């Protein structure tokens, strides 16, 4: 194995520009929802608590809540948020309350409201940030819309055709690239010598590779590939998004991934969560 590599000259990852993708992915969502038969609105998704209609209700609730906060400075009452777990539990509660309200609406009303609701910015907490650059929060919002739409497509098999759905490189790769920004935060308590390299690969035409290096005080995610890595984890593109959104359990995921090198360095990625959740 090659000697550890210093990180001071590593090139950081470039911003993910996703604003131009919103009209396409949102248009595909509305097209998808309009095509659902009445019984398909009640299909179970990979999110244990949510059926298709619950996911649609969530996709209406979150931007409306964000608009109220960002534009109007209106914050719902909140408990003391003194830890990531407390924040996750609070968000889970708000999500459940919103879904309970908006799933009462007819599909036609849900769709009509989703056509007009705008988006608003947040901090990307799952990457360890209280405040985030606009491009990052925009990308985070894009991942929300993409992965919830994919939950619906997965729940209704006739909609899951990769050629006609959203499992395309143009639409899916930015989701993966955004999710991977959680790697340094995920590995924050993993010890390794400075310069230790870890490679995360998503196989398939929509995938790519990401490179994590141990720094003096923290892990660094960069575009540089030093070649020899202390550990490498390869995830099939079909389940990568599910791993990072709690849509598949660890044992099922582990049976489908390939790991080489130091497993203590290779496996923490399977516990990475790139959504806000307890």
Domains, the chain: 19-178 (1.20.120), 181-271 (3.30.1050.10)
CA separation for the pair 150, 160 (Å, rounded): 8
Is the pLDDT confidence value at 234 over 80? yes
Over the stretch 115-125, which tens digit does the pLDDT of each residue have?
Answer: 988 766 556 66
- Nearest Cα neighbor of 175 from 47, 269, 95, 274 is 274
- Nearest Cα neighbor of 113 from 38, 18, 29, 25 is 29
200 - beta bridge partners? 210, 233
Is the pLDDT confidence value at 4 over 50? no
Over the stretch 89-112, which tens digit does the pLDDT of each residue have?
Answer: 888 899 999 999 999 999 999 999
pLDDT of residue 131: 67
Over the stretch 121-154, which tens digit does the pLDDT of each residue have?
Answer: 556 667 677 667 778 888 988 999 999 999 999 9
Over the stretch 206-219, which tens digit does the pLDDT of each residue have?
Answer: 999 999 998 888 89
Averaged pLDDT, 24-52: 95
User: pLDDT-derived band of residue 8, with 50, 70 and 90 as boundaries?
Assistant: very low
**Neighbouring C-alpha atoms within 13 Å toward the C-beta of 56:** 32
pLDDT of residue 6: 46
CA separation for the pair 113, 64 (Å, rounded): 10
């Amino acid at each position: 194995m090659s000697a550890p590599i210093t990180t001071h000259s590593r090139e950081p990852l470039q911003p993910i520009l996703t604003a131009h993708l919103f009209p396409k992915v949102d248009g595909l969502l509305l097209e998808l929802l309009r095509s659902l038969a009445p019984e398909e609105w009640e299909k179970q998704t990979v999110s244990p608590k949510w059926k298709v209609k619950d996911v649609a209700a969530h996709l209406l609730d979150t931007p409306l809540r964000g608009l109220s906060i960002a534009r109007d400075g209106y914050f719902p009452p909140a408990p003391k948020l003194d830890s990531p777990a407390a924040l996750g539990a609070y968000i889970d509660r708000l999500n459940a309350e919103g879904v309970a309200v908006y799933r009462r609406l007819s599909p036609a009303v849900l769709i009509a409201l989703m056509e007009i609701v705008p988006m608003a910015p947040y901090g990307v907490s799952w990457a360890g940030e209280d405040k985030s650059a606009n491009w990052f929060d925009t990308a985070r919002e894009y991942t929300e819309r993409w992965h919830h739409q994919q939950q619906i497509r997965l729940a209704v098999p006739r909609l899951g055709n990769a050629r006609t759905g959203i499992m395309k490189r143009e639409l899916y790769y930015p989701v993966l690239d955004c999710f991977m920004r959680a790697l340094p935060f995920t590995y924050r308590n993993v010890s390794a010598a400075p310069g230790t390299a870890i490679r995360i690969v998503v196989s398939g035409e929509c995938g790519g590779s990401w490179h994590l290096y141990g720094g003096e005080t923290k892990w660094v995610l960069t575009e540089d590939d030093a070649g020899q890595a202390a550990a490498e984890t390869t995830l099939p593109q079909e389940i990568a998004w599910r791993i990072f959104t709690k849509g598949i359990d660890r044992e099922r995921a582990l049976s489908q991934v390939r790991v080489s090198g130091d497993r203590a360095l290779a496996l923490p990625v399977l516990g990475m969560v790139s959504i806000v959740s307890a």
